[in-house]
Structure 1
């Protein structure tokens, strides 16, 4: 790239801008690693038993986190996180005076290499420490390896989703108590403001939220589609307004059940769990569109309530590969794509926000209507793929296949494939 100054960014090519952004990101993560080690040492030299000789108190601060926050210009919470990460990733000393590895060596390695930052490290460490006693050392070590291998390149929200899945896998016995806590905290309040607006505030656990979220998302998706087709910019509603209208229509429907005008378009709450886990009562289940896993007992309860429709993927009565015989993907094919992609295979939007698209176009490229040529994409990612020159590759067959997105060469000259779909969060590759 040669020499340049920050004022010359506008002269860089898109690929060079991305390269600069990645270099700065790595530099920031390396700085996080150094800062966390320093924060840990400040904390060590500010132990309460040192009294007036505490480093923080000698500097005029009541605590090491107050010292760190003031000197680097951050919050006490961020300073505490740096101390936490530093303590968990610094080499230790045994009581006999021998050197010992860090408490979380895999996190320490990735942090020191600049592959993850302090925020990601803290999220991983917090979960591992929470389940360590119940899960055992071997399971925690395996979970730590899995997380640090997958964390690079994930956003905060995506990493949170992966951590929730890993926690349920490493500590399945803890899923039910956690969801019991959430269920006990569910609430909904309705109050009227002075100007006449009605304010509804709800806190719902995953089981109770799933049908509400699925129905509202399906109606909003239908409204957005109709709004685009109408092309009437003057009457456009915001997504928040559409969500409010959807809730109103659901209530109106409940008050007059003979009405059939809700555009739910086949929306279904999908709870997935293996047949063995469902029969044995082991493991955990997941709900499409909801991050937090649920227990087997919750999955059974939802099934008993009619929220789960049993179906056998790829059974004798379902043709999953149509070749050129059909242009549109069938319902069984779409369910299979949901199983494989988990929603938008590129950005992770829930299934209700997506459509099944041909990778090789049906008309232009004579692409077949088969799973190996299909992918779930939201409207935005669909345009991004086609307008910006991204390619999609499917490795494997059926619902176990992996979806890879290949960026155009102006973004990444090496065109390094990026894993998409549900495989980003699966525990077994």
Structure 2
């Protein structure tokens, strides 16, 4: 999508009639992809207009909205309520008011006051405030400290959702092109936390700040990961190495977001989810947790979240049932499975050792009972993915204590024991070592 069309599109959607149609289309497109809740970011300068050829100074636009854009928000609010009435499975929509990092201090001061007013006027619709645009070229949060401090001193309540750490420059390199702002981009991470941000957008630079990762965990501040944008803009060279997967595995709250999808030429809400799923090694449990995080770390109130969880749980259960039904109907019996190795390949005779079976083409075990056979003894296995099955070693009865190990051939069935695939793999049963047992001590030191 060209920059010209992008700008034209932004202007078109503020037409009084098109705003309504645009919101309706956006909500419908989201629900078509099973997206039940949305938060978007939008400028403070949106105002509704109608076409009037006599308005030559504004290129044929006659603005019918006030300076705060309240009529536009009233239209959006009405569309959202009507949509939920027609589609009760939809949870809701909120908007984060955004200012530009390249703006003057006076403009940011005006933006903040406008955002406070709109947050008070539409508390169920307006989530809070953010500063957007490229961090390395824009002003730092510290540059606007007086503006934020003034708001705090006046006891104005306004949640923040700051972009911070969208950079891959080192901390000691001043990246800003503005000589009046002597702060490096990664410093925004510290200032965002001090200002009480609810989430951190991008957070690429967090990987170099393990202390801040601990702070995010303790304060329950989520990182908004934007897989497509981060690659398109060069902050991440390979999706498999995106730092957000490290945050997620480390226990830092993470959510998946889309950053300016129209600018990058894609229209789907779930493209970033697809990129993350394919590149980050996520499984079904990870997807569930990330989806749950989207609600837990949203701008919704506690009561709104309770309602959201109920709707989402219902949709998730339906998704699992439909996915299982589809998977069980797949014809995968034409592909022969390959069993490559097992690990560990030994365990105690008392059983219970978790054995991982590695190979390929295990999809034939979907909706089937997997059995692992250790010699003549079997145990039930669990399908993890097409390359991994796990099962616990069975109890191997023996008499007396011996230093000898008993090796058993390993085989596996993907169809409840009707057919076993033999392998050249063996599993060794060893005797449990009992503390202070003289016969065992003799074996060890003898």
TM normalised by structure 2 equals 0.21
Greater percentage in strand? 2
Greater percentage in helix? 1
TM normalised by structure 1 equals 0.22
Q: Specify the structure having the higher radius of gyration (Cα).
A: 2
